[in-house]
């Protein structure tokens, strides 16, 4: 898999944003939105593990 550093960096930033949203006590998101963010976070973590492990 070929990818550039900017793409990886953006993905890491997105992952950090997801984690901040999920760990925040003062959330403005619904349960469904939080569930969707959690799923996106898990998918992104899996993809990043593959990219960074190579």
Mean pLDDT within 17-34: 92
Structure tokens at 18: 């997801």
Percent over 70 (pLDDT), the chain: 94
The C-alpha atoms of residue 31 and residue 27 are separated, in whole angstroms, by 10
DSSP label at 29?
S
Q: Which of 4-8, 12-16, 35-39 is the least confident region?
A: 4-8
Residue 36 lies in a domain: yes
Residues of the domain holding 6? 1-11+31-54
Mean pLDDT within 1-20: 87
Helical H segments across 1-54, by residue range: 5-23, 31-52
* pLDDT greater than 80 at residue 45: yes
Q: Which residue has the higher pLDDT, 39 or 50?
A: 39
pLDDT given at position 2? 56
When divided into structural domains, the chain yields a total of 1
Residue 54 lies in a domain: yes
Q: Could you identify the residue written with the tokens 């349960």?
A: 31
Residue 19 lies in a domain: no
Residue among 40, 54, 53 nearest 11 (CA):
40
């Amino acid at each position: 898999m070929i990818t550039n550093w900017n793409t990886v960096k953006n993905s890491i930033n997105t992952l950090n944003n997801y984690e901040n949203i999920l760990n925040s006590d003062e959330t403005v998101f619904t349960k469904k939105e939080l569930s969707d963010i959690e799923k996106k976070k898990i998918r992104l973590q899996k993809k990043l593990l593959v990219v960074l492990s190579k």
